[in-house]
Structure 1
């Protein structure tokens, strides 16, 4: 069974202020939930319509499909929903490849970028304070569990880049051709806002501007999606 109080708490977690005040976030679907169960994230509560969905049924609260629909953030609820406790981020290493986001606002983009970091072995993702919350339900779903393997830190991006000793690369339309650029093993890749790109104050701290060249004959495509561009650039960094 699920109480009215629990329903109220869960449905409030679509807002960042309530995630912050409760210290909880929502994960939905067997695969995503299992990834968190296998990580260092601490489970608070797990609700499911199928008591055999998870091996350890002692963690499960069985509920009806109607109840799941009330608490799910998905158009089509996916058999299970869990609440996990938000963890404190780890200290950022001063070596290796790090991705930094300058006010990326779309949850789907952030979720995809987290998956890309996981795929390309990027352990640390540094986000400006205005970047969308990584515990947003849409971000959690888009990561498909990769959030458990990428350390995400929200900070003043300008201060972070000012203090770092690593070379800082930024994605710009007018940057140097990335395919002709010598890329290091250790460095920071800065990706900008969907509409405005990298901000002026962050742009001033970029060591080298890089770009993905257009190969179409007409070359009228305005720009690449920030997540798509991140994937291409990470692939090039890993070829170095």
Structure 2
């Protein structure tokens, strides 16, 4: 496996390939990331992972500085998973001048749910993904469905810019107790980790009620929020939405239940498709 840190090195490494398949990450990898790498392998003639902690998507009081940088361990895991190439630029290499050109996603999709609680987050996400797709010349890019809203926004962005890349979504990987794998799970202390699967259980409870025909979405959301609060969580939202655009669903629509909540100082997100 080759590791490169500059755009010049990346272009040289990719010069012999026509169909790169890329997995964009911020590092601090776990089994969910490695599953994305394995899913990418049959999609291209080289499998590439990017590791870059993107300042643009962190708010002023979020965890950019303390986000774990674990490049050596990440590369060892990627090599074991069959990755061919890692692009791990420094901030100075990736943003050699202030990134004043940015992608402004539509408010109807970007300013709800995560966007409501993390203003500007999806501007940073879409901007860095567009730049990474340009740098890697990817023909396939693989993302996890845990970041459901992010995946929809990236798909919409790629379609509107007519980018020649297929965006592939992979099901959320979970621990045995149902907790969605996330780099931020490492912030949880042992007691919090034991409690963390309650978020997944709350979502599955709403999903089961929807499958049983309950259409009182507001009541289901309220019950789930109250259950989490009673258990010591500080939820931002539990919301039943339409899968295609995250707007309010009709009973016949394919739905997704999404949630974000803090357990101590750690903010977790999850979703369940219905």
TM-score between both structures, scaled by the size of structure 2: 0.26
Higher helix share: 2
TM-score between both structures, scaled by the size of structure 1: 0.28
Larger Rg: 1
